[in-house]
Amino acid sequence: MIFKINTSTSILLGCIIFLFSCGSAEKSQNLSSIGTTSKIGYSTKGKNNYFPAGESEIILDENGEEVSITDDDFEYFKKPSKDSTEMFRVLITGKKYILRQIRSSAHFKRKSDPGGDALIIEDIARYDGRINFLDDGMVVVNLNAKTGKIEKVNFGTRTTRIGDLSKIIQNDSTRWQLEHKTLEPTITKYTVIYYIQLQGNASKDEIKEQLKKEVRK
């Protein structure tokens, strides 16, 4: 007998394989307050500020607005960046799309696109509600040297453990529009690090039962 496995089930299956091989999913950070208090103008008194690419870099969010990375932000946003091509870090959950541009905001930035962000959130939300699972991946983007438009998007040295999530981050980075400070772009290549947070409270036994039911469909 041949079973057909849909995309949602394949992501669930991948999560289960990872859960069982490691014993448990990676611990997830409380994401409810991330991105709500770090904008310039909000009080950061008593909080540490983080500059992943150095203190000379101005950090921008998904709306192209200047922000600070503080203790309230996602843990991986704070980590130092050793790769000079790494320009963006993105966290996507079933409820939020949070971006930090950590380098080269003096030369270019991503144009705000709330509608596109919302569609990517919907893509992730379809797989939410089952387990806590953090995945990550890297994409490398090449731009046209004359127009500054996106020409090519490739996966970097890190890909998501769940293949279907790789498709989502590739689609996301492809739809970006960029605003350059000069007629001919100064930046023609950059790297984006994505973090995908699935959230849920199902036990391993419950997940196994869900999987059995979906495979039978």
* Residue 12 forms part of a structural domain: no
* Residue 9 forms part of a structural domain: no
* Residue 210 forms part of a structural domain: no
Q: Are strands 97-101 and 86-92 parallel, antiparallel or unpaired?
A: antiparallel
* Residue 22 forms part of a structural domain: no
Q: What is the DSSP letter of 18?
A: H
Identify the pLDDT of residue 210. 63
| Residue whose structure tokens are 């030369």 | 107
* Residue 120 forms part of a structural domain: yes
Number of folded domains that form the chain: 1
Identify the pLDDT of residue 207. 58
Q: Give me the domain span that covers residue 174.
A: 28-205
Q: Are strands 97-101 and 66-67 parallel, antiparallel or unpaired?
A: unpaired
Per-10-residue mean pLDDT, the chain, length 217: 50 54 47 48 67 97 97 96 97 96 97 97 86 91 96 92 90 96 95 93 63 56
* Residue 156 forms part of a structural domain: yes
Identify the pLDDT of residue 105. 97
- Answering whether pTM is above 0.85, one says no
Identify the pLDDT of residue 3. 42
Identify the pLDDT of residue 133. 85
Say if CB 196 and CB 134 are below 8 A apart: yes
Q: Does residue 137 sit in helix, strand or coil?
A: strand
* Residue 7 forms part of a structural domain: no
How far, in Å, CA of 192 to CA of 26, rounded? Answer: 21
Identify the pLDDT of residue 106. 96
Identify the pLDDT of residue 43. 44
Q: Which two tokens stand for residue 176?
A: 């970006």
* Residue 80 forms part of a structural domain: yes
Q: Is 133 left (phi over 0), alpha (psi -120 to 50) or beta?
A: beta
